[in-house]
Each structure stands twice: as C-alpha cells, then as structure tokens.
Amino acid sequence: MAGFAFTRSCLTCILVRGAHKNMKPIAVYIHIPFCIHKCSYCDFNSYAGLDHLTIDFCDAVKREIWGVHELERVVSSVFFGGGTPTYLQAEQLNSILNAVRDVFPFAKDAEITSESNPANSDVERFEGMRRGGFNRLSIGVQSFDDRLLRIAERQHTSQEAIDAIACARSAGFDNLNLDMIFALPEQSLEDWRASLFNAIEINPEHISTYALSIEEGTRFDRMRRNHTLHKADDDTELEMYELAIELLSKAGYQHYEVSNFCRPGKQARHNLTYWLNEEYLGFGPGAVSYLGGRRWMNEKRPTSYIQKVKAGEPLAILDETLPPEEALAETLILGLRLRGGVTLKSVQDRFSIDLQERYSGLISELVSEGFAELKGDNLRLTHKGLLFSNDVFIRILP
C-alpha cells in the first residue's frame, strides 16, 4: 500500500472533518464472511462453521477501519454484505458501523444497508439494527418455492422468508430489497411467475432479479460436470428475464438497471456507486476498494485476515491500476447496465478521450443492429440490448 494515504497499522486516526458539503462522497462496503451453510450456487467469499472466529473478526474489522487516516471524505452509503451479515448479533453489527462513524462523517441521508438471510432474522435483531442506524435491508429470499429452495440448499422456507420480511417491517424498516434468482435447476417459467407474484404482493421497495450463474467450484458446478444438473435452457432463461421485466413494470416498479427494479426514488444508492464506477472503500476479508484509480482486494481467508490485522501486516493480495483504455471500457460497461445509459460527454470529460472517435464504429454497429440507441449525447441499451447485454459488453472491451 506504499504511496497511498491509507494505512492499516494505525489504531487511532485524526480526521480533519471540515464542512461535509465540501467533501467528496465515498461508499463503504463491509464484508461479513460467516454463513450457516454454503448454498449450492454460491461462490462468494463465505464460510460455514466459523462461529469461533466471530469475536476476533469483529475486533479485526474495526481495527482495519480505524486504521484509515488522512482521508477526508463523507460517507454516502454503507453496505454490509457477505456471507450473511445477520449471522452476527445486532450489537456486533452496530459496533462495526460505529467504527466507520469514528473515522468518517456521514451524509445526512446516508443509505445504510445490510444483507439478511431469512434463517437469521428476528424482530429483536432487526430492531437493534434499526436503533443502530441501519435504514435498509436486502433479504435473500431467492425463491418462494420450497422445492427450489431445497435444491439450492437454502436454509429457510418460503414462509420463513415471509416472516423475515414481516419482522423487518415490524422493526421499522421502510426500505426493503428482495433478492430473487431465476433459471434455477428444475424451475419452470410458471414457477418463476408464481415467485414474482409473491414478491409483488409483498410490495418491497426494491427487487433484484439475477439469472443463475454456474460458478466453478460450487456444488452446482460439480453437478453440471456429472451431468446431473437440470438447468433451464437459454431460451427459457430469456423468457424468465422478460417475464420479470413485464410483471414488475406492470406492478409499478422502475426497471432502472439490468437486474434491478424499484419504486420511484428507491434505487440502491450504494450499488449506483459501482455502476457509475465511482470510488469506494472495502473492509473485511476479500473486500475490494477502488480509490485514486487503484483497486485492491483484501486477504480472503478469515483466519489469515484476522492474523494480518493483529500483526499490522498489509492486507492487499491483489493490487492494480487499470490502464486508461481499460478503465474507460469498464466505465462504459458499468454505465450501460443502467437503463438511463451513459452521457458521452461526462465519460469524455472523465477520461479526456473523444468517445465518438474512439468508439464511433462500434456505436454505429450497436445502433444499426438494434442493441443500443443514441439520442443526442445519451447512449443506452435497447430491450434487445438488455437481453444480450453480456455480448454487447464483450464487444466494448479493449
């Protein structure tokens, strides 16, 4: 981490706070690696059976946060992800959030989100988190079909997911996201329709819908290799995606990003930081930071992470500064995930590159092929472009 005003050996910090409105905003991500069980599809940096590490982990992540110094930023959002953040008690989550407050001022309307698993959800935990300052929950429902939940090895039933949502509402959360997965093994189009109707009836402020991706090393990957995985074919997966767009849009949700839908004004502000390719700090094992054009990733293994923090050792296991061409392409790809698309001038100003000149041929091709539309200075994907967005993004890469 040499050459950058961001150290992890310092256990106290002095931050010149100044006027918050004059500080650049920054998003903060906290990675909680603990889970009850590793689901069949999961390749996130998460671990089951590490209960004995939770106390030391909380101490370590707070020490890492307190180690930030001489960085004058105002926090616009905090996101606790995992793993399962609600594997920890409310007091532990609040103490980590307070460590962020010790170092940074918060914007008055800062969005503070935690992911939650229905298997670790109760009114007392949610009430404690709400008192501690959390104002948004993202609940990993994935499906309202118990058969599909068992196939995915989720450790909850559909009724427990419904109960978790009720607990969140009872605790005072008025900004909820439901995570949903489609194209699960043995899932039909009608199964997906039923889950979407259930989600709409619950009426959360935000719904995320993700197509199942079979990642290397997961149980689903092993099943695929053994030819025992019966996943929806590509055409059915596309139908499921289009069905989500149709039903959620009819229900009044704004389709504002490839996989995300919200009630007006309820976009996931923390995730917008990523899609706009803006700066963020990550804390915890495997967390990624992006600041000053540099991106680095922490030690992923919880035991090694804790040991390194205690010893004051550098945590970064990957560290890169993207060349301008790659950073430009990444910004375009992330921005085109948003339904509003990208403003060419803003990207040009950021990278001092004439996009019309650099990408003139590609932009013309995407427009003529019906994958994108260019209106004035705005480039966005069409409905066809949404359906084949990965193919579009590959063509943008340098």
Q: Cβ distance 129 to 93 under 8 Å?
A: yes
The conformation of residue 233, written as its DSSP 8-state character, comes to: P
pLDDT digits (tens, 9 = 90+) for 341-366: 999 999 989 998 888 788 889 999 99
Burial 122-137 (b: 16+ CB within 10 A, else e): eeebbbbbbebbbbbb
pLDDT surpasses 80 at 5: no
Mean confidence (pLDDT) of the chain: 92
User: In which element (H, E) is residue 167 found?
Assistant: helix 158-170
Domain 324-396 has CATH 1.10.1740.10: no
Residues 63-121 pLDDT 10s: 999 999 788 999 999 999 999 999 999 999 999 999 999 999 999 999 999 999 999 89
Whether CATH 3.40.50.11540 fits 20-275: no
Say what the pTM is. 0.92
Q: What is the pLDDT of residues 126-148, one digit of tens each?
A: 999 999 999 999 999 999 999 99
Per-residue pLDDT reduced to its tens digit, 151-189: 999 999 999 999 999 999 999 999 999 999 999 999 999
Q: What is the DSSP letter of 338?
A: B
Domain boundaries, the chain: 20-275, 324-396
Region of 175 (left: φ > 0; alpha: ψ -120 to 50; beta: rest) is beta
3-state secondary structure of 36: coil
